[in-house]
Structure 1
Amino acid sequence: MARGTATLEDRPPGRRVGALAALWPFVRPYRGQVVLAIVALALTSAISLVLPLAVRRVVDNFDDGAGLLDEYFGAALVIVALLALGTAARYFFVTRLGERVVADIRKAVFARVITLSPAFFERVMTGEILSRITTDTTLIQSVIGSSLSIALRNMLILAGGLAMLAVTSLKLMGLVLLIVPAILVPIILLGRRLRALSRANQDWIAASSGSASESLLAAQTVQAYTHEARSIARFDEVTEQSYDVALSRVRTRALMTAIVIFLIFSGVIGVLWIGARDVSAGAMTAGQLVQFVIYAILVAGSTGALSEIWGELQRAAGATERLADLLTAEDAMADPARPVPLPRPVRGQIALEGVGFRYPSRPDIPALADVDLMIRPGETVALVGPSGAGKTTVIQLIQRFWDPVAGRVTLDGVDLRDMRRDDFRQAIALVPQDPVIFAASARDNIALGRPDASDAEIEAAARAAHAHEVIAALPAGYDTPLGERGVMLSGGQRQRIAIARAILRDAPVLLLDEATSALDAESESLVQAAVNRLSEGRTTIVIAHRLATVKKADRIVVFDRGRIVAQGTHEALVAEDGLYARLARMQFTDGGEAATAAVLAGRARPVPQDASGAA
């Protein structure tokens, strides 16, 4: 809730309806459809303005014989048919345009957000982003596919109706114009209030979605800690805030509608009263009065519809602003204008040169300080140390999820900031501590890094990771959907899928962040053998709390409080009798894995943690 509220407070206040101009880049490619829609719209508006003339003819020539009346009614039927066809064409072109533009907006927003660095997601909740992509785009779709065309049609009818009112009776037209300022005042004044409430309403809807998303994605944890009541209460609180703002918006709009309708129809009644007196005095014909009344109703209806649509445009303007915020979101991570290509073939030499780093959310605590580390091509390097020592931060910097605040990180001698991220990341395979499994088939999950891999290659990778037996036992084998976040699998099974994914990627650089932490002893032995085979000939960086898994590494680098305090082989580090030797003694002699895990998790000695909570 706190994060959602912060984002609300950080946003600038809503601007005017002119914010809808930001939609033009998405509308521009479909100018042909816009022209067709405008033509259909102008046709239906013109036909609507012709009908009162036909009615006047009928009224004024009622006594001229049945033949003439038949002609008039026949012409009216043709006009109605044209009106039906024009309205259908307008609906088709405008609705298709709205659907197409909104689909493009959704694609553009997702394409932008999915490339943003982790720093962005520290500020904005995922549920809020989803709300913008769904709820806000639905508002825009309503405007482009309906409200905007209705507004234009009513503006044409309003302008044409006023002109025809003047032609019919200049005197009565003057009286009608006196009403217009009285109608515009509440529209303008209450419209400003409505715009602010509409923006706030959408913000609270987004906060509500963010709260729900956060709890639902951690439903098992919420239930395990009997936190359901608090989660429900928090969601209820945010939802009620959204409802209160929405209720204020509805009240404001209802008040504006009541005032506008009363002023419009009160004015029409007054004008009709004066017109009726003119007919009885012979100053105008009954047909002229009927024509004037119809045009007056058209003008009044158009004005009322415009006041209604004004509120929709206010809401859509707020939604457009919010989507524009995502499309123009600044990202600390950016590819250079002229990227340097990663030299091929990739050797896999990684260097951290004087690297210092602080997480933006914890600027006072250094995650890394003056780190110098050279990893040779094909070398297997293990990073060990207490939780919060900076090990996972090193992994994240190598993937350029963050940029160092001091120093640089290079791959084969090229600074990561000088290359395109998708270029050098193709040379890296990652097995994280908490692997992500998508709600897709087992085959698609393994093929994430190489979508063009053959079925035989996917199965070979699964066998190498000892995941084939697990997958083969699923109802549809490799085609079995694994559920959201891999709920069909155990933690160890998810890690086997992640390892198979890394094996299939066949990248020259391999990053293993506690890759075997969720496996039982037998599975760990099997997977460790697979990892050892996978590491051959590759630059491999391993983070492990179980020191038995890193004893055979070419080099072990010991981190503590964001600095490298020692490095060497297992035997050399044990002989130095430093931090690593103490951890080794606890694990292999004195207290076993449990005691060592306590130190590595930071329980035996308080240590600062990374802002991300990572090791």
Structure 2
Amino acid sequence: MKPDAINWTPPPKDANRPPAEVRRILRLFRPYRGRLALVGLLVGASSLVSVASPFLLREILDTAIPQGRTGLLSLLALGMILTAVMNSVFGVLQTLISTTVGQRVMHDLRTAVYAQLQRMPLAFFTRTRTGEVQSRIANDIGGMQATVTSTATSLVSNLTAVIATVVAMLALDWRLTLVSLLLLPVFVWISRRVGRERKKITTRRQKQMAAMAATVTESLSVSGILLGRTMGRADSLTKGFAEESEKLVDLEVRSSMAGRWRMSTIGIVMAAMPAVIYWAAGLALQSGGPAVSIGTLVAFVSLQQGLFRPAVSLLSTGVDMQTSLALFQRIFEYLDLDVDITEPENPVRLETIRGEIRFEDVDFSYDEKSGPTLSGIDVTVPAGGSLAVVGPTGSGKSTLSHLVPRLYDVTGGRVTLDGVDVRDLDFDTLARAVGVVSQETYLFHASVADNLRFAKPDATDAEIEAAARAAQIHDHIASLPDGYDTLVGERGYRFSGGEKQRLAIARTILRDPPVLVLDEATSALDTRTEFAVQEAIDALSEGRTTITIAHRLSTVRDADQIVVLDGGRTAERGSHEELLRRDGRYAALVRRDTQLAPATS
């Protein structure tokens, strides 16, 4: 299931309350309400200062100049200059605070989404393209930057400015004010329609950006480049990317132009309003109505022109907020995902871990449709003992190993560590207790030392070197020009498969877990490399409870007990010698390995 296909249904709306998404967005700003209150004060002060300037202008034109009062003229002119200075200072402070708050909100959102994804079960990532996950964090949250850093402040600022300006206009002349506001309801209706249209386009645009991000992540990784070139598909991949990019171009243009003509019409009408005011004032004067002084008329037009900018900006802000709701909904979809594997309310913490593992009547299914993957598994691995799990492909071997570190939770029965259900343990205890070395070795694009320190951040250089020696990889690292400072490259492509496995083993040795899970750790290696890696594994397994998932049986002969799985059930159990004497499924697997050995050596 892709993240865009998540069955997310918003709660029913209450007609007397704002939409749930809006209330949720407002809650994001709650930790910063003190700073926002300061922004509100600055906005209010700025609006009051702004509307004072036309009144000063009216006094200049109607009193100071006609009456030749030079002192009053100088004072009024100085007042107009001061209002401009104060407006600039208020604007800078307002921008600083609102941008800081907005960036903090974006930081909170990014962190919340990342933390939520860290808690998601392994199954989520097997169903979801990595590029789509990255797109939610980068593109969707990045697309909300304007909303959370400036739109909210712009909304308050422009709304306050509009209200203050309308009040000032009414104070000057209520009749001219009515003429000016006659078309306002039509403008609001137009902006709401444009907002809904852009919201739909934005949703499609973000999905397309997620698809492109996934394509880039997959095809431009080291593995993707190797596959594309060796298959001769570089040109077709480029063509496919160009087609996806072409779709995005169309959506970007449509998003930018949606309602542009309608919004331009509003601008034309607003710009023509001064002419209408002069015309209305002239008609009133000719019809014998109350005369409007030149100062009042000029001040009113000045206020109206001042109303134009915040009014149009307010309508545009409404459109932007409706558009941003699409981005917020996509982020909230991730934040609302159910976390299947959670820490219990009162977790058990084990200070001393012996390492006994029990599978007690364990059942597991990935989902109801696929049926059971494991059924009725009963196995006990004593502390310090070793268990090997073998069987044909698809028998449930790896799934069984994933239940110990709680990468998945059982659907029936339980898995215990030292008698405690692993679902009752705190995550820290489980992480300290169980180390996993799998066939898919993952190394970060960082130095060798940093990759090893991922297991133990405070490890000393001596501890890192000792772990590398135990894993039989120190000599190779030391022979490199930069030694432990060598960058391993993306996914460790500067190292061979056997070298990467030994680095993974060294990393696990450094962590020193009492329980070790080896999930087909040598199955992808040739026989010669497998022998070298197996020596490192033997050193790692010494004194630990070890569960080995194996496809090749040469690595499990010395296990204390061997379990053969078939169809998710225990088909056989015993030591290597006991199972050979039974001449059952295990013996058949051994014969198969013996026949294949010459071909793999």
Same fold (TM over 0.5): yes
Partner in structure 1 of residue 463 of structure 2: 457
Query: Partners in 2 of 1:535 and 1:581 — Cα distance?
Result: 25
Distance 1:581 1:466 in 2: 32
Partners of 1:92 and 1:380 lie apart in 2 by 62
**Does the 8 Å contact 1:22/1:320 carry over to 2?**
no
Match of 1:321 among 309, 329, 333: 329
Match of 2:487 in 1: 481
Query: How many Å separate the matches in 1 of 2:460 and 2:327?
Result: 44
Which residue number corresponds to residue 364 of structure 2?
Answer: 357
Tell me the SS of whatever aligns to 1:137. Answer: helix
1:160 aligned partner: 164
Match of residue 141 from structure 1: 145
- CA distance in 2: counterparts of 1:423 and 1:230, whole angstroms: 49
Separation of aligned partners in 1, 2:308 and 2:486: 61
Structure 1 contact 17–313 (Cα < 8 Å) conserved: no
Structure 2 unpaired stretches of 5+: none
**Residue among 48, 51, 67 paired with 1:49:** 51
CA distance in 2, matches of 1:243, 1:122: 30
Mapped to 2, the partners of 1:377 and 1:9 lie a distance apart of: 42
Deviations 1:306-326 (A, max 9, x none): 121122212222222222222
1:438 Cα deviation after fit: 0.9
Give the CA deviation at 1:331.
Answer: 1.6
Distance 2:40 2:372 in 1: 60
What secondary structure, in the 3-state scheme, does the structure 2 residue paired with 1:178 have?
coil
1 CA distance for matches of 2:301 and 2:192? Answer: 27
C-alpha distance in structure 2 between counterparts of 1:226 and 1:142, whole Å: 43
Alignment of 1:346 onto 2:353: yes
Question: In the alignment, what sits opposite 1:169?
Answer: 173
Q: Which range moved further: 119-128 or 47-56? A: 119-128
Name the residue aligned to 1:612: none
* 1:301 Cα deviation after fit: 2.0
Which whole-Å CA distance do the structure 2 matches of 1:120 and 1:499 have between them? 27
Q: CA deviation at 1:465?
A: 0.6
Residues 439-518 of structure 1 aligned to structure 2 (within 5 Å) = 439-518=445-524
Instruction: Give the match for residue 226 of structure 1.
Output: 232
Q: 1:130 to 1:297 in 2, by over 3 A?
A: same
- The 2-side partners of 1:476 and 1:25 are apart by 50
One-letter amino acid of the structure 2 residue matched with residue 63 of structure 1: P
Distance 1:12 1:243 in 2: 30
Q: Distance in 2 between matches of 1:491 and 1:129?
A: 28
> CA separation of 1:405/1:594 partners in 2, compared to 1, >3 Å: closer, same or farther?
farther
Measure how far apart 1:583 and its partner are.
Answer: 2.1
Letter in 1 for 2:323: R
Which deviates the most, 473-482 or 426-435? 473-482
Change (3 A) 1:113 1:593: farther
For residues 23 and 237 of structure 2, what CA distance do their matches in structure 1 show? 40
Q: Which amino acid aligns with 1:199?
A: T
What is the root-mean-square deviation in Å for CA atoms of aligned residues?
A: 2.5
Q: Which moved more, 1:419-428 or 1:514-523?
A: 514-523
CA distance in 1, matches of 2:199, 2:592: 64
**Equivalent residue for 2:342?**
334
Render the CA deviation track for 1:494-540: whole Å, top value 9, x for unaligned.
Answer: 11110001111111100112223354545433332232122122110
Counterpart amino acid of residue 244 in structure 1 = D
Which residue pairs with 1:564 in the alignment? 570
Instruction: Determine the C-alpha separation between the residues in 2 that align with 1:425 and 1:347.
Output: 14
Give per-residue Cα distances to partners, 1:274-316, cap 9 Å, x unaligned: 1244467770111111111111112222221112112221222
SS of 2:409 mapped into structure 1:
coil
For the residues of structure 1 that align with 2:372 and 2:570, how far apart are their CA atoms?
13
Contact 1:587 1:594 in 2 (8 A): no
Return the letter of the residue paired with 1:304. V
- Which one of 276, 284, 296 corresponds to residue 288 of structure 1? 296
Q: Distance in 1 between matches of 2:191 and 2:596?
A: 76
CA distance in structure 2 between the aligned counterparts of 1:513 and 1:418, rounded to whole angstroms = 24
Matches of 1:268 and 1:352, distance apart in 2: 83
Secondary structure of the residue that 1:352 maps to in structure 2? strand
Deviation at 1:7, TM superposition (A): 2.1
Query: Partner residue of 2:590?
Result: 584
> What SS does structure 1 have at the residue aligned with 2:570?
strand
Shift of 1:466: 1.2
The 3 A distance-change label for structure 1 pair 179 and 455 is: same
Name the CA distance, whole Å, in 1 between partners of 2:378 and 2:293. 97
Partner residue in 2 for 1:601 = none
Q: Residues 524, 351 of structure 1: CA spacing in aligned structure 2 closer, same or farther, 3 A cutoff?
A: same
| Matched residue count | 590
Tell whether the 8 Å contact from 1:348 to 1:508 is kept in structure 2 after alignment: yes
1:502 and 1:278 map into 2 onto residues whose CA distance is: 89
Cα distance per residue 1:409-455 (max 9 Å; x no partner): 11112112222233222201111101110122211211222222221
Q: Which of 24, 37, 40 is 2:39 aligned to?
A: 37
Partner of 2:389: 383
Deviates more, 1:496-505 or 1:554-563: 554-563
Task: Look up the match of 1:408.
Answer: 414
Q: How does 1:68-467 map to 2 (within 5 A)?
A: 68-217=72-221, 218-219=223-224, 220-278=226-284, 283-342=291-350, 344-360=351-367, 363-467=369-473
Instruction: Give the 3-state SS of the residue equivalent to 2:414 in structure 1.
Output: strand
- Residue deviations 1:133-162 (CA, integer Å, cap 9, x gap): 122222332112212212211111110111
Question: For 2:244 and 2:267, how far apart are their aligned partners in 1?
Answer: 34
* Distance (whole Å) between structure 1 residues aligned to residue 553 and residue 128 of structure 2: 37
State the one-letter code of the partner of 1:29. Answer: P
> Could you tell me which amino acid in structure 2 is paired with residue 64 of structure 1?
Q
174-183 vs 239-248, which moves further: 239-248
TM-score by length of 2: 0.92
Distance 2:6 2:29 in 1: 31
Q: Relative to 1, partners in 2 of residues 1:517 and 1:159: Cα closer, same or farther, differing over 3 Å?
A: same
Aligned identity (percent) is 34
SS at match of 1:567: strand
Give the aligned residue type for 1:28: R
Q: Which one is further off, 199-208 or 329-338?
A: 199-208
For 2:275, the aligned partner's letter is: I
Hey, what's the Cα distance between the residues in 2 that align with 1:312 and 1:594? 65
Distance 2:347 2:20 in 1: 37
